Structure 1
C-alpha cells in the first residue's frame, strides 16, 4: 500500500509540475492579443508582469501554509485558482470583438487580474510539488527538489508543444488562444485536484525504516528533521532574518538578476518581433521557438547544476554535538554558482547591446537568460537552508522570493516605457532602439550583482 501511495505521489508531482508553467507561454499569446484585441505594448507588459509578479506577493504566506497544512491544501487552492484564471481569460477573449477600433482598456484590466490569479496559482503549485518531494524523499533531498524544479522548467516547452501542434492553424501557424486557454483551465484544475489527494508528506517513521543501516549518511539525512531543527541555532524569527545584512545583499542580488530574467521571459516574443529576419518567418513561430529554447535551457541547467551543487557544495545540517556539518566534503561555496549566473547575464545583455542584429540572434539571449534563471533558483534553496536552517525553510524561501517581485515590476515597466517611447501609434515598435536602453541598464545592474555575489561569497565562507 505504501508503494502504491508513493507511486501515485510521484505521478502527481510529475503532472502538476508539467502543467504549472502556463504563465510562461504568454509570449505565444501576446501576438494574438496584440492583433485581435488591439492591446498596446504597455498593456501587454502589464498583463505579463501581473502573471510573473503574481507568484510573489503571497509566497511567504504560501510557505507557512506548506509548513503548517502540507502540500495537499496548496494543490487544492492551485486547482481553483488556475481553473478560474484560465477559464475567465478564455471567456474574455472569446467574447471580445474580433478587431476593436481602439485599445480596449477594460479587457486589458480584466486580463491583468486573471493572469495575476494564474501567477498565484503557479506559486501554490510550485511550493506544493517541490516541498512534497523534498520532505518525502529526505535521503535525496536536493536531488528530489532539483528534479521537480527541472520538470517545472520543462513545463513551458511541454505546453508550447501542445499549443503549437494541437491548437494552431497549420496553414498560418496562428494559435487558437480561446481553445488553448480552455484546455489549460480544465487540465490544470483536474491535475491539481489529483495532487490534492496524493501529495502527502510521510511521517518520520515512514521515511526512516527501522531496518535502515545506522551509518553516518543515514544519520545525517534520514533522521527526523523536525527533531534536529529544534536545537539548530540558525532557526530564528522573521525579525531576526530581516536584521541580517547579508539577507538584504542577497535580496538586492535577486532583484537585479531575476527581475531582468523574468522581464526577458515575459517579453521575448515582442523582442523577436522588433527585429528583421532574412527569411519568411511568422511572428508566432518565432515566439514559439524562443519559448522552447527558454524551457530547454532552463531545464538542462537545473538538471546539471543541481547534482553538481550537491556534490561540491552539500547543504549544511546541524548536529548537536558537532555543530554545522555535511555528509560529504564541502569543496566550494555555493555562491560561485550565483557569481556565474550574474556573469552570464552580463554577457547576454552585452550581446543584445553590441551584437544582436536579427531575430536569429535573440537565441543567445534566451539561452543565457534561461540558464541564469535556472541556476539561481536551483541553488537558492540550498543557500537558504545552509545559512538560515531547515525548520523555516519554506517561510524563508518565500520571503526571499519577494525580491524578484520587485525586480520584475521595475524591469518590465522599464521595457514597456522604452518601447512606447519609440513606437508610432497603431504600429509595432521596430529595431534595436525598442529595447537597447533596457539592456544597457541590465548590463550595469548585472555587473553590480556580480560584485554582490563576491561579497556574499566572502561573508559566507565555510557556511554556504
Structure 2
C-alpha cells in the first residue's frame, strides 16, 4: 500500500505540480534539450575504427575477424529499426530508452571483461563470438537510443517538423566527432595505442548516466503526452494544417479535390492521439500497402546508397580518380565531408520549415528541397570526372547532400504519414541505407578490382551513380505528383 501511495504521489507531482510550477513550455524545452544532449553521446558505435586498430595491433585479431565483429554491429544498428520504431509508437520512446540502457552498459562491460582475459596474440574464436554478440547489442542499443531521442523531439514540436528532426540528426552526427576527440586523449592512449579496456569502461559509465537522462526526457512524452498538447496555440496551428490536408476545399493553396478521398486514403493522413496512435496497426498496414512508400524506399536506396558508399571509400576514390595529391589527403577530405554534412543537417532543417510554412505568401514543398539536395550530390560526383577541380569540392558537395537527405527524408515521412507513427514508418525506411550502402560498396569494389584502378572503369561507376541519383529524384517527384496530391499534400 505504501508503494502504491508513493507511486500515486510521484504521478501527481509529474502530471500536475511540475507543469503548474514551471509551465508546459518549459517542460517541453527541457525535455527537448535533454534529448539533444543525449544525441551528442549516442554514436559510440561509429568509433569502431578506433577499436579495430587496437584489436588488430595489440591483440593480433585478424582483419577478417574484426570485420565480422563490425558486421554484427551493423546488423544490430539497421535491421531492427522497423521493430524498434513500431514499439516506440505503441509504447512511447521511453521503452526504447530503457532498451538502450539495458543493452549499452552490460555490453561494454562484457567487452571490457573479454579484453581483460585476452592474452597478446592469443585471441580465441570464443572471444571473437563474444565480441560479435556484444557489438550486435551495442548497435541495437545505439538505434534504440537515437530513435527514442528522434521520436521525442518530433512529438514535442510537431508543428516544427524540420527543426525538430534536423537538430537530433545533427547532434547524432556530431557525436562521432566528439567521441573521436575524447578517445585521442592521453589517458586513453598511454603507449600511443588506444587502451580499449579503459574505453569500454568509460562508455559503460557514460551510458549509465546518458540513458537515465534520456529516459527522463522520453518519459515526458510517454507517460504524460497530453501535457505537451496543452499549448493551445501550437495545437490550433497544427490542427489547422491537418484540417487543410483533410479538407482541401478550406485552403486554396492545397488545391486537391475532396472527391479524391476514399477510406484507405484517409487512413494514411496524419492524425494525433495519445501514446499509441489511433488505428496504429491499420495505418501501418496501409502505409506498407501504399505504392508511394515503396517508390520512396527505392529512391532512398538510389541516393543514400552511393553517398554512404562514397563516405566509406573516400581513400580508394582519391586513388582511382588520380587526385591523391598533397592537397587531397584522406584526413582532410574526411574532415571536409563531416563538417559539410553536419552544417547541412541544421541548415536544411530550418529551410524546410521556412519554405513550406503556410504563413508564407508562396510556400514551397519540401520535395523541391530534397531534389536540390540530390542535385548537389550529382554535381559533387561529376566533379570527380573533371579531374582538374579540387577534390575538396566533391567532399563538401557530397557531404552536404548526404546530411541534407538524412534531414529532409524523415521530415517528409512525418508530413505524409504522420508524426505519431513516425517510429514505424521511418524505422521501415531505415533499412534502405543498409541495402544501398552494401550494394554500391560491392559494386564499387568489384569495378575497381576488375579494372585494376583503370580510369575508364571507375568513370563508368561514377556515371552510373549520377544516373542513380537523378532516378531517385524522378521517383520522389512521381510519388508527390501521382499519390500525395490526391491526399491534399500539395505543399508540406
TM-score tier by shorter-chain length is 0.7 to 0.9
Matches within 5 A, 1:329-348: 331-348=363-380
Structure 1 residues 313, 109: CA separation in 2 closer, same or farther (over 3 Å shift)? farther
Matches within 5 A, 1:2-401: 2=19, 3=22, 6=28, 9-38=31-60, 43-99=65-121, 108-167=128-187, 169=189, 172=192, 174-202=193-221, 203=224, 205-209=226-230, 212=232, 217=237, 219-220=239-240, 226=272, 237-266=283-312, 278=326, 292-314=335-357, 326=358, 328=360, 331-351=363-383, 355=387, 361=391, 366-401=395-430
CA offset digits 1:66-99 (Å, max 9, x no partner): 1122122211111222223333334444544445
Say if 1:256 and 1:449, in contact at 8 Å, map to a contact too: yes
Say if 1:80 and 1:189, in contact at 8 Å, map to a contact too: no
The structure with the largest alpha-carbon Rg is 2
Separation (CA, whole Å) in 2 of partners of 1:364 and 1:90: 41
TM (normalized to structure 2)?
0.72
Deviates further, 228-237 or 41-50: 228-237
Say which of 381, 388, 408 aligns to 2:437: 408
Structure 1 residues 114, 227: CA separation in 2 closer, same or farther (over 3 Å shift)? closer
Q: Give the deviation of 1:302 after TM superposition.
A: 0.9
CA offset digits 1:359-410 (Å, max 9, x no partner): x95x556544432332112111221133333442221111111212222333
Separation (CA, whole Å) in 2 of partners of 1:189 and 1:230: 28
Aligned to 2:266: none
Structure 1 residues 390, 26: CA separation in 2 closer, same or farther (over 3 Å shift)? same
Separation (CA, whole Å) in 1 of partners of 2:458 and 2:187: 33
Aligned to 1:323: none
Give secondary structure in 2 for the equivalent of 1:54: helix
Structure 1 residues 330, 231: CA separation in 2 closer, same or farther (over 3 Å shift)? farther
Deviates further, 191-200 or 332-341: 332-341
Aligned to 1:425: none
CA offset digits 1:29-79 (Å, max 9, x no partner): 444344334455555544444434432222121112211221222111112
Separation (CA, whole Å) in 2 of partners of 1:57 and 1:366: 28
Separation (CA, whole Å) in 2 of partners of 1:259 and 1:13: 28
Q: Give the deviation of 1:13 after TM superposition.
A: 0.9
Give secondary structure in 2 for the equivalent of 1:200: helix
Say if 2:154 and 2:419, in contact at 8 Å, map to a contact too: no
Say if 1:342 and 1:447, in contact at 8 Å, map to a contact too: no
Deviates further, 201-210 or 230-239: 230-239
Give secondary structure in 2 for the equivalent of 1:332: coil
Separation (CA, whole Å) in 1 of partners of 2:319 and 2:198: 24
Deviates further, 38-47 or 222-231: 222-231
Separation (CA, whole Å) in 2 of partners of 1:119 and 1:108: 16
Q: Quote the RMSD (CA, aligned, Å).
A: 4.3
Structure 1 residues 204, 6: CA separation in 2 closer, same or farther (over 3 Å shift)? closer
For these two proteins, the number of residue pairs brought into alignment is 431
- Which runs of 5 or more structure 1 residues have no equivalent in the other structure? 315-325, 423-430
Say if 1:217 and 1:327, in contact at 8 Å, map to a contact too: no
TM (normalized to structure 1)?
0.76
Separation (CA, whole Å) in 2 of partners of 1:327 and 1:74: 35
Aligned to 2:468: 448
Separation (CA, whole Å) in 2 of partners of 1:239 and 1:11: 34
Say if 2:91 and 2:275, in contact at 8 Å, map to a contact too: no
Aligned to 1:319: none
Q: Give the deviation of 1:142 after TM superposition.
A: 3.1
Q: Give the deviation of 1:238 after TM superposition.
A: 3.7
Structure 1 residues 233, 92: CA separation in 2 closer, same or farther (over 3 Å shift)? closer
Separation (CA, whole Å) in 1 of partners of 2:463 and 2:295: 18
